[in-house]
């Protein structure tokens, strides 16, 4: 890590209990501008729960989630509804794909534009010039996003008819449509073949550099993680056990133990 | 004090019937997350079949308790058969469909079954023979609790114990619990999930039929529409207690029975159904998982 | 072949067993008579045998269709392709509009009355379509909003002599308000809980109207409600019917126009997204509470409006008109027509309301057929008679970078 | 496209002419009531009565030398459908209408007949405001109204039974609550009786044990119930179960054989009001005999009233010498007619003079009229 960049997301001592079960145990983590950070760990380590806390789906038991948008004041995300979190500029994808399956690919992305547009009920009924222009803007900008992830040819297909890898990319495009400055990707490469994974690899890098969006990803595919991310955080049994550059992580005995103790494909 | 006791026992009787029907809702919901809207109709069909059997038997000269048992057994068999068929026709083809589909199918089935009985039989109320004998030993307290109420309470109690044993102690019960917790996992370890689902419908329907026969012989009349309101109330009971939870259904049924009984007794029966649904809304707002239900962690 | 035959025989035997007590035996315990209707058994046997063949055939067709869809093929029917053809649509609309406009001039008052009933259900169906079809919020107590509209007009007319035209928007707004008020506590409920609670609300409405004499005149209802006046003139029955007919046509067109615009707007997309996946929907920055409430309230709005018209048409209302069965009929209109599809709902309303009216002889079987149709539709054609027409978008598709800041 | 439009509209025109019809010179008697659905048992007997009357009169040469034609329409007892059927009858040119059966449906339909100037006579709509409000000058009925029934039940309870504490219950329905409201009013007015309980019960509820216990707690000596027989039989059975000695008094909706069958023993000792027993009137017996000859069964509810209404309407046309509205209504109000419910004419409000109620007691599984 060279110079100190602007800190975008700061999580301090995040703890989440479900009944008696402590799924996440005082985990702290930071994401800076321009970074592709990764959160890794064996199955059931609490990574997705961590994501759900950050994005407002769960309200954490303890800890602080602070968002520092550039040029705006810091906001504490604890207890905010998911849509508020998204409005603040933090978008996400899901581990088990959650697309709107009976909508077309384009429409899926258009939904992402919802929180950045504002036509209300009455204006939609009257359908004045401003509304029509906004509609057209939604369509155009959504289509451009499809071009970016390489799905423009499928724009009018139903999203449920897309191949698996394309569905994952569509989720990313949809999340980007909300104009985030930080993107949380939950296992974007799960279920992909090596070719698709390497395409994804490039896509993530492109988003990071070209769009100036910082990325925090959960991933099992170690090759992908080691290739593109820095820093890397490792979780096990709800606790953070290591953090650092890919090299540091590779050499960390705790990490090796955690992974060897669990499964080999990691 | 006596008045309180009267209302309490009246509420318990009514509540235990709700509980019997609510068990069917809760078991089905626990396994396939479906409100089986047609469950109330199964209860009605149970009562109707019992009425027909009892009627035929009386005319051909059988007597008393033997009819009750015969009618009860045949009603249970038929209700189970209807429950089984219902699942096969209306719900199985819709597994994996969007959530609204099986629900609408269930509402359709409920309307269909009501009108099927209406057309095949009659819209009139039919007299149900009073099969439950009046016990002499109950006479001193008959104004507080009569023999039929006693029979209802005892039968319900025994049924519930049997059900608990079935679920807790047998292999089938274990498979049912496994399926309830995680259907795909249960399938992996070799549970025939389709069969377990069918079985759940069969058991639920049998319980509803027992309820139907008890109520019919207590109240003395049956028509095609009795299932609708009973079904809605029992579902409310299941939600109150925590849907998916078996002790919850029993508790929910009793709570609802008491609530209705005391509301009618101490306040007014003008707004009886308003109390019931008010209670439901209140519970759903304050404690969406019900009294005994566990909050299901939504998988994201 | 033999396999199928065996299966059907088994199905047939099973149904004979199943329907035996209810279809065959009819007992009269008082007069000590049992009537055995053995012929019914034969019909059941033959019927279920044939139906089981049909059932398998339909299932295999459905599977074939899903397979085509999975392979990315086009599963749209010819009818649907025709309907998506804009040219055809305009022509067809023109013809239909002319037919509709001359209808009351050609047919007698009775025919117009029936048509008004059907049109009332068209509006109800379109209203419910917003919450059920688009937003996926199953509402089983929709009739309560209809009742609110009807009572609004009846009471305002009775006490303050307010006219139809003033009350029309009031009815809509009150329906809408009730939608919001009822909507609040149930926002957090999931689909099936919502269904049972709304069912409860529908029943509560009826019970309150029956008991709150001071407000609603109880079960005896309110009579002598004024028909809509025509620029201050009272019309004869025949003329008034024609007048109401045209009001109703205007209302239907108005409803279609607005629901169509809403459906294809930012709000409409949010509703559909909500129906498809709640969690993904909020993660996309959509305010779930606001979206749900707006769908629920807008659906209620139409019911309230058309309730006013209903009261002015029948001139008498009592709580008995607002039962669960009414909600179920409106729901079946939406389901049969095609959830989310405006054209489908209109067609559904005409079929379900006009068919029984012209086939009075079979009216006993009406509800039976409704129930069966709801089940069969869900299994074989969940998209309804006419599935939702897809909107097409135009885009330039430049590869150049835009500043979407 | 244009051709198609022209073709269709021509077709529509032809059809509509066929519907409105080639008006033959007949007297048209409309009959409306529930002929399908669960309330059909209340509507079909009156319809059959009209058929029998018309058949007989036509055989005797008709009315004013014209044959009488029946126009039968089903309203399922629903107000919204009743307006449709009324419109249908009006457009089909009915001269007079026998119907409707249910009070709600009648109220909804009456406005339409009023505008079209058609006299309407119901054999069964007992709701008091139908005649007493004065809103419907075209309405007549061959049955007494609910308030008379309630008055009779109350008088009976006070004078014959001598009770001091009365509970009043109803089924929250149009008919039942109307009856209960009047009963309470008359009880209060009498000053001799305390109404200890006034409540609605929910039809279709699983049981009424709480309300029965409440009746016991209030020490009511009599229970006056407004409603129909299914709830009534549930109430009396549960009262018997709970060993209540409270006397059960109810209305015409309970005076039905089903009440006796379903309630069984528990019905014994109950009192109900109902139209006076008219079997001693010769015409009444004759009508019953006619029905039995034609259909081989006992006539059902409102048969005699329906028969009377049909006779009264056709007689008025005959006496008026035309189907003119004013002449016919005048004839109805001035000319006595011999019917199965007695020798009747109608008062200025439309109620038949000379029909009334009696109190019946259930004894040994049968209704016995108390003189």
The model's pLDDT over C139-193, given as tens digits with 9 standing for 90+, comes to 989 999 999 999 999 999 999 988 899 999 999 999 999 999 888 877 777 767 8
Looking at residue C391, the DSSP 8-state letter turns out to be: P
Report CA-CA distances (Å) from A169 to A164, B177, D335: 9, 38, 90
* D307 lies in the same domain as D246: no
Q: How far apart are CA C229 and CA B91, in angstroms?
A: 51
Give backbone dihedrals phi and psi of A214, rounded to 5 degrees, phi first: -75, 150
Residue A222 forms part of a structural domain: yes
SS3 A37: strand
Residue D88 forms part of a structural domain: yes
pLDDT recorded at residue D215: 92
Closest CA to C337 of C296, C300, C383, C304: C383
* D290 lies in the same domain as D303: yes
Closest CA to D230 of A192, C120, B226: B226
Pairs of CB atoms within 8 A across B/C: 173
- Between residues D35 and D246, which one has the greater pLDDT? D246
* D137 lies in the same domain as D151: no
Looking at residue A153, the DSSP 8-state letter turns out to be: G
Residue A125 forms part of a structural domain: yes
Say yes or no for a CB contact (<8 Å) between C375 and B277: no
- Domain edge (last residue) among A179, A207, A234: A179
Report all structural domains of chain C as residue ranges with CATH numbers, in order of start: 2-68 (no CATH), 79-380 (1.10.3470)
* D233 lies in the same domain as D130: no
SS3 D199: strand
Beta pairing, strands D194-200 & D222-226 = unpaired
Predicted-complex ipTM score: 0.85
Q: What percent of chain C is predicted at pLDDT more than 70?
A: 94
* A159 lies in the same domain as A225: no
Is B201's pLDDT higher than 90? yes
Listing DSSP states for D249-314 in one string gives EE-TTT-SHHHHHHHGGGGTT-EEEEEPP-TTSHHHHHHHHHHHHHHSS---TTHHHHHHHHHHHH
Q: How far apart are CA A218 and CA D176, in angstroms?
A: 68
Report all structural domains of chain B as residue ranges with CATH numbers, in order of start: 2-286 (1.10.3470)
Residue A173 forms part of a structural domain: yes
pLDDT recorded at residue D5: 55
The model's pLDDT over B237-293, given as tens digits with 9 standing for 90+, comes to 998 888 888 889 999 999 999 999 999 888 888 888 888 888 888 888 788 778 887
Is C211's pLDDT higher than 90? no
Q: How far apart are CA D314 and CA D121, in angstroms?
A: 11
Say yes or no for a CB contact (<8 Å) between B109 and C23: no
Report CA-CA distances (Å) from D53 to A130, D97, D316: 73, 14, 14
Closest CA to B223 of B149, B130, B114, B80: B114
Say yes or no for a CB contact (<8 Å) between C328 and B239: no
* D216 lies in the same domain as D310: no
Looking at residue A92, the DSSP 8-state letter turns out to be: E
Q: Which domain holds residue A59?
A: 1-89+180-266
For D115-203, list the strands marked E by DSSP: 120-122, 139-141, 165-170, 194-200
Say yes or no for a CB contact (<8 Å) between C273 and A147: no
Are chains C and D in contact at 3+ CB pairs closer than 8 Å?
A: yes
Say yes or no for a CB contact (<8 Å) between B277 and C197: yes
Residue D6 forms part of a structural domain: no
Question: CA-based Rg of chain D, rounded to a whole angstrom?
Answer: 23
CA torsion sign, C194 to C195 to C198 to C203?
A: negative
Closest CA to C132 of C351, C303, C347, C320: C303
Say yes or no for a CB contact (<8 Å) between D87 and C30: no
* A188 lies in the same domain as A265: yes
Structure tokens at D53: 């009357």
Neighbours of chain B (3+ CB pairs under 8 A): A, C, D
pLDDT recorded at residue C349: 92
Looking at residue C222, the DSSP 8-state letter turns out to be: B
Q: Tell me which residues of chain A, numbers 71 to 130, contact chain C at a CB-CB cutoff of 8 Å.
A: 81-83, 86-87, 91-92, 94, 98-104, 106-107, 110-112, 114-117, 119-121, 124-125, 127
Structure tokens at C381: 């054609």
> Among B126, B225, B269, whose Cβ lies nearest the Cβ of D200?
B269
* D34 lies in the same domain as D102: yes
Residue C405 contacts A where some CB pair is shorter than 8 Å: yes
Q: How far apart are CA C58 and CA C375, in angstroms?
A: 14
Q: How far apart are CA C300 and CA C149, in angstroms?
A: 10
Residue C129's pLDDT band (cuts 50, 70, 90): very high
Q: What is the mean pLDDT of residues B178-190?
A: 86
Question: Residues of chain A whose pLDDT is less than 70?
Answer: 1-4, 260-266
* D245 lies in the same domain as D332: no
Structure tokens at A249: 């992580």
Give the residue from chain C lying closest to A113, CA to CA. Answer: C284
First to last CA, chain B: 53
Q: Which domain holds residue D179?
A: 147-269
Residue D11's pLDDT band (cuts 50, 70, 90): low
* Least confident among C230-234, D112-116, D218-222, D333-337: C230-234
Rounded to a whole number of angstroms, the distance from the CA of B16 to the nearest CA of chain D is 12
pLDDT recorded at residue C399: 53
Say yes or no for a CB contact (<8 Å) between C265 and A135: yes
Residue A33 forms part of a structural domain: yes
Interface probe with B: pick from D205, D216, D223, D260, most Cβ of B within 10 Å: D205
Q: What is the mean pLDDT of residues D122-151?
A: 89
Q: How far apart are CA C83 and CA C93, in angstroms?
A: 11
pLDDT recorded at residue A264: 42
Pairs of CB atoms within 8 A across A/B: 7
Specify the CATH number for the domain of residue D192: 3.40.50.2300
* A20 lies in the same domain as A66: yes
Q: How far apart are CA D71 and CA D56, in angstroms?
A: 17
Q: How far apart are CA C66 and CA C73, in angstroms?
A: 9
Give backbone dihedrals phi and psi of B290, rounded to 5 degrees, phi first: 85, 180
* D152 lies in the same domain as D265: yes
- Domain edge (last residue) among A162, A179, A196: A179
CA D98 to chain centre: 11
Question: CA-based Rg of chain B, rounded to a whole angstrom?
Answer: 19
> Among D216, D230, D244, whose Cβ lies nearest the Cβ of B125?
D230
Contact D60, D3 (CB under 8 A): no
Say yes or no for a CB contact (<8 Å) between B52 and C25: yes
Residue D10 forms part of a structural domain: no
> Among D8, D74, D79, whose Cβ lies nearest the Cβ of C360?
D74
C399 burial class (0-12, 13-18, 19+ CB within 10 angstroms)? exposed
Is C404's pLDDT higher than 50? no
Rounded to a whole number of angstroms, the distance from the CA of B108 to the nearest CA of chain C is 4
Q: How far apart are CA D160 and CA D273, in angstroms?
A: 14
- Domain edge (last residue) among A125, A150, A179: A179
pLDDT recorded at residue B298: 54
The set of residues, in sequence order, having a beta carbon less than 8 Å from that of C166 and lying 6+ positions away, is none
Q: What percent of chain D is predicted at pLDDT more than 70?
A: 93
Residue D320 forms part of a structural domain: yes
Say yes or no for a CB contact (<8 Å) between C331 and B113: no
* Number of structural domains chain D divides into: 2
CA angle C276, C280, C284 (to 5 degrees): 115
Rounded to a whole number of angstroms, the distance from the CA of C313 to the nearest CA of chain D is 8
Give backbone dihedrals phi and psi of C248, rounded to 5 degrees, phi first: -65, -40
* A194 lies in the same domain as A252: yes
pTM listed for this prediction: 0.88
Rounded to a whole number of angstroms, the distance from the CA of A19 to the nearest CA of chain B is 10
Residue A225 forms part of a structural domain: yes
* A160 lies in the same domain as A217: no
* Number of structural domains chain A divides into: 2
Structure tokens at D261: 């069958």
Rounded to a whole number of angstroms, the distance from the CA of B201 to the nearest CA of chain A is 31
For chain A, list the strands marked E by DSSP: 7-18, 21-32, 36-40, 62-67, 75-76, 90-92, 182-186, 214-218, 232-236, 239-244
Q: How far apart are CA B130 and CA B54, in angstroms?
A: 10
For A144-227, list the strands marked E by DSSP: 182-186, 214-218
Contact A17, A23 (CB under 8 A): yes
CA C198 to chain centre: 16
Listing DSSP states for D335-355 in one string gives --EEETTEEEEE-TTSBEET-
Q: How many CB atoms lie within 10 A of CB B278?
A: 15
Say yes or no for a CB contact (<8 Å) between C285 and A120: no
Give backbone dihedrals phi and psi of C71, rounded to 5 degrees, phi first: -85, 10
Is C397's pLDDT higher than 80? no
A34: left (phi over 0), alpha (psi -120 to 50) or beta: left
Beta pairing, strands A21-32 & A7-18 = antiparallel
Say yes or no for a CB contact (<8 Å) between C267 and A124: yes
Contact B104, C374 (CB under 8 A): yes
CA D244 to chain centre: 32
Contact B35, B107 (CB under 8 A): no
| HSE toward the beta carbon, residue B298, CA cutoff 13 A | 10
* D118 lies in the same domain as D77: yes
pLDDT recorded at residue C258: 92
Closest CA to D362 of D198, D232, D242: D232
* D259 lies in the same domain as D305: no
First to last CA, chain C: 65
Say yes or no for a CB contact (<8 Å) between B229 and D199: no
Say yes or no for a CB contact (<8 Å) between C273 and A87: no
CA A150 to chain centre: 19
> Among C70, C279, C404, whose Cβ lies nearest the Cβ of A98?
C279
Report CA-CA distances (Å) from C307 to A115, B45, C143: 35, 36, 9
Helices B100-120 and B39-59, interaxial angle, to 10°? 20
- Between residues A21 and D310, which one has the greater pLDDT? D310
Greatest CA separation for chain A: 65
Q: How many CB atoms lie within 10 A of CB D324?
A: 14
Are chains D and A in contact at 3+ CB pairs closer than 8 Å?
A: no
Residue with tokens 């501008």, as numbered in its chain: A33
Rounded to a whole number of angstroms, the distance from the CA of C156 to the nearest CA of chain B is 25
- Domain edge (last residue) among D242, D269, D296: D269
What is the 3-state composition of chain B as percent helix, strand, coil, each rounded to the nearest 5?
A: 75, 0, 20
Residues in chain B: 300
Residue A94 forms part of a structural domain: no
Rounded to a whole number of angstroms, the distance from the CA of B263 to the nearest CA of chain D is 9
Residue C219 contacts D where some CB pair is shorter than 8 Å: yes
pLDDT recorded at residue C72: 63
Is B153's pLDDT higher than 70? yes
CA angle B240, B246, B250 (to 5 degrees): 55
CA torsion sign, C223 to C227 to C231 to C233?
A: negative
Mean residue pLDDT of chain C comes to 86
Residue D23's pLDDT band (cuts 50, 70, 90): very low
Rounded to a whole number of angstroms, the distance from the CA of B81 to the nearest CA of chain D is 25
pLDDT recorded at residue C119: 94
CA torsion sign, D221 to D226 to D229 to D233?
A: negative
């Amino acid at each position: 890590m060279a110079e100190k960049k602007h800190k975008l997301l700061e999580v301090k001592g995040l703890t989440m209990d479900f009944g008696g079960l402590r799924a996440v145990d005082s985990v702290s983590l930071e994401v800076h501008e321009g970074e592709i950070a990764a959160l890794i760990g064996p199955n059931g380590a609490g990574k997705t729960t961590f994501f759900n806390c950050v994005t407002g789906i769960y309200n954490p038991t303890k800890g602080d989630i602070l968002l520092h948008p550039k040029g705006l004041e810091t906001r504490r995300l604890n207890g905010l509804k998911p849509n508020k979190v998204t409005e603040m500029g933090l978008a996400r994808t899901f581990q088990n794909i959650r697309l709107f399956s009976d909508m077309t690919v384009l429409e899926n992305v258009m939904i992402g534009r919802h929180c950045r547009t504002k036509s209300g009920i009455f204006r939609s009924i009257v359908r004045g010039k401003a509304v029509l222009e906004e509609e057209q803007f939604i369509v155009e900008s959504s289509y451009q996003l499809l071009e970016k992830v390489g799905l423009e040819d499928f724009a009018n297909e139903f999203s449920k008819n897309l191949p698996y890898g394309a569905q994952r990319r569509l989720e990313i495009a949809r999340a980007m449509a909300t104009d985030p400055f930080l993107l949380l990707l939950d296992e974007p490469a799960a279920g992909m073949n090596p070719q698709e994974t390497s395409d994804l690899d490039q896509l993530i890098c492109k988003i990071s550099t070209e769009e100036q969006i910082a990325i925090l990803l959960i991933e099992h595919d170690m090759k992908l993680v080691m290739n593109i991310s820095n820093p890397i955080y490792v979780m096990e049994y709800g606790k953070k056990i290591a953090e650092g550059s890919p090299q540091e992580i590779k050499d960390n005995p705790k990490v090796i133990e955690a992974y060897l103790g669990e499964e080999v494909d990691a | 004090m006596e008045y309180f006791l009267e209302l309490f026992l009246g509420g318990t009787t009514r509540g235990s019937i709700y509980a019997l029907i609510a068990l069917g809702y809760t078991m089905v919901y626990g396994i396939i997350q479906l409100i089986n809207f047609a469950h109330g109709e199964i209860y009605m069909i149970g009562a109707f079949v019992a009425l027909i059997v009892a009627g035929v038997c009386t005319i051909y000269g059988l007597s008393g308790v033997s009819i009750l048992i015969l009618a009860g057994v045949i009603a249970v068999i038929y209700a189970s058969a209807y429950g089984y068929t219902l699942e096969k026709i209306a719900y199985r083809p819709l597994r994996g469909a969007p959530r609204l589909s099986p629900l609408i199918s269930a509402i359709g089935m409920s309307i269909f079954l009501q009108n099927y009985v209406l057309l095949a039989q009659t819209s009139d109320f039919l007299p149900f023979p009073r099969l439950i004998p009046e016990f002499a030993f109950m006479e001193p307290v008959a104004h507080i609790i009569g023999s039929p109420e006693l029979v209802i309470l005892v039968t319900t109690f025994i049924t519930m114990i049997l059900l608990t044993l079935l679920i807790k102690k047998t292999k089938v019960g274990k498979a049912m619990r496994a399926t309830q917790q995680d259907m795909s996992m249960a399938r992996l370890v070799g549970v025939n999930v389709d069969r377990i689902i069918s079985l759940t419908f069969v058991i639920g329907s049998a319980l509803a039929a027992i309820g139907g026969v008890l109520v019919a012989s207590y109240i003395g009349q049956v028509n095609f529409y009795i299932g609708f309101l009973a079904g809605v109330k029992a579902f409310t009971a299941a939600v109150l207690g925590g849907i998916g939870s078996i002790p919850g259904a029993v508790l929910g049924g009793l709570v609802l029975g008491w609530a209705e009984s005391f509301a009618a007794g101490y306040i007014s029966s003008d707004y009886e159904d308003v109390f019931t649904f008010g209670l439901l809304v209140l519970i759903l707002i304050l404690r969406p998982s019900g009294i005994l239900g566990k909050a299901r962690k939504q998988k994201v | 072949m033999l396999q199928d035959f065996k299966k059907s025989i088994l199905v047939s035997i099973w149904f004979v067993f199943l329907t035996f007590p209810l279809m065959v035996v009819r007992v009269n315990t008082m007069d000590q008579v049992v009537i055995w209707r053995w012929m019914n058994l034969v019909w059941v046997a033959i019927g279920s045998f044939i139906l089981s063949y049909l059932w398998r055939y339909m299932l295999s067709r459905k599977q074939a269709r899903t397979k085509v869809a999975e392979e990315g093929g086009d599963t749209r029917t010819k009818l649907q392709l025709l309907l998506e053809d804009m040219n055809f649509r305009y022509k067809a609309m023109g013809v239909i509009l002319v037919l509709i406009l001359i209808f009351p001039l050609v047919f007698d008052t009775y025919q117009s009355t029936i048509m008004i009933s059907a049109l009332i259900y068209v509006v109800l169906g379109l209203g419910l379509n917003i919450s059920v079809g688009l937003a996926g919020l199953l509402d089983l107590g929709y009739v309560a909003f209809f009742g609110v509209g009807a009572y609004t007009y009846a009471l305002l007319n009775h006490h303050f002599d307010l006219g139809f035209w003033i009350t029309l928007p009031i009815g809509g707004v009150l329906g809408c308000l009730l939608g919001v008020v009822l909507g609040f506590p149930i926002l957090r409920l999931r689909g099936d809980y919502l269904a049972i609670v709304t069912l409860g609300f529908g029943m509560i409405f009826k019970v309150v109207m029956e008991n709150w004499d001071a407000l609603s005149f109880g079960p005896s209802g309110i009579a002598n409600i004024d028909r809509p006046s025509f620029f201050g003139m009272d019309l004869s029955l025949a003329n008034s019917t024609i007048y109401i007919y045209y009001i109703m046509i205007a209302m239907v067109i108005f409803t279609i126009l607005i629901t169509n615009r809403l459906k294809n707007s930012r709000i409409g997309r949010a509703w559909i997204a909500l129906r498809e996946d709640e969690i993904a929907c909020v993660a996309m920055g959509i305010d779930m509470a606001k979206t749900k409430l707006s769908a629920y309230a807008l659906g209620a709005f139409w019911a309230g409006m058309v309730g006013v018209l209903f009261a002015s048409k029948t001139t008498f209302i009592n709580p008995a008109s607002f039962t669960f069965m009414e909600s179920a009929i409106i729901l079946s209109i939406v389901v049969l027509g095609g959830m989310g599809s405006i054209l489908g709902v209109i067609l559904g309303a005409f079929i379900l309301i006009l068919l029984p009216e012209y086939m009075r002889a079979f009216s006993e079987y009406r509800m039976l057929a409704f129930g069966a149709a709801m089940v069969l539709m869900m299994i074989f054609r969940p998209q309804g008679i006419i599935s939702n027409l897809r909107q097409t978008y135009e885009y330039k598709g430049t590869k150049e970078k835009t500043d979407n800041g | 496209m244009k051709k198609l439009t022209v073709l269709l509209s021509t077709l529509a025109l032809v059809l509509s002419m066929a519907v409105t019809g080639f008006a033959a010179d007949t007297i048209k008697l409309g009959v409306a009531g529930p002929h399908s659905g669960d309330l059909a048992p209340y509507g079909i007997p009156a319809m059959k009565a009209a058929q029998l009357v018309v058949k007989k009169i036509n055989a005797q040469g008709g009315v004013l030398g014209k044959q009488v034609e029946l126009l039968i329409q089903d309203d399922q007892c629903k107000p919204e459908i009743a307006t449709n059927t009324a419109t249908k009858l009006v457009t089909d040119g009915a001269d007079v209408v026998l119907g409707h059966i249910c009070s709600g449906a009648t109220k909804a339909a009456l406005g339409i007949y009023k505008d079209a100037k058609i006299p309407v006579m119901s054999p069964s709509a007992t709701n008091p405001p139908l005649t007493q409000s004065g809103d419907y000058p075209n309405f007549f009925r061959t049955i007494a109204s609910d308030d008379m029934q309630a008055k009779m039940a109350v008088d009976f309870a006070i004078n014959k039974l001598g009770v001091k504490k009365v509970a009043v219950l109803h089924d929250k329905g149009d008919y039942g609550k109307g009856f209960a409201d009047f009963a309470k009013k008359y009880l209060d007015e009498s000053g001799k009786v305390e109404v200890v309980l006034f409540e609605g019960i929910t039809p279709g509820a699983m049981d009424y044990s709480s309300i029965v216990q409440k009746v016991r707690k209030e020490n009511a000596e009599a229970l006056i119930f407004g409603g129909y027989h299914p709830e009534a039989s549930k109430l009396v059975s549960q009262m018997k179960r709970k060993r209540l000695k409270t006397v059960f008094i109810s209305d015409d909706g309970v005076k039905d054989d089903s009440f006796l069958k379903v309630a069984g023993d528990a019905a014994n000792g109950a009192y109900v009001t109902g139209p006076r027993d008219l079997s001693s009137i010769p015409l009444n017996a004759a009508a019953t005999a006619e029905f039995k000859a034609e259909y081989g069964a006992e006539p059902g509810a409102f048969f005699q009233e329906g028969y009377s209404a049909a006779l009264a309407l056709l007689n008025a046309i005959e006496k008026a010498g035309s189907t003119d509205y004013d002449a016919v209504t005048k004839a109805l109000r001035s000319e006595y007619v011999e019917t199965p419910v007695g020798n009747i004419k109608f008062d200025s409000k439309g109620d038949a003079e000379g029909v009334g109620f009696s109190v019946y007691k259930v004894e040994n599984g049968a209704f016995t009229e108390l003189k």
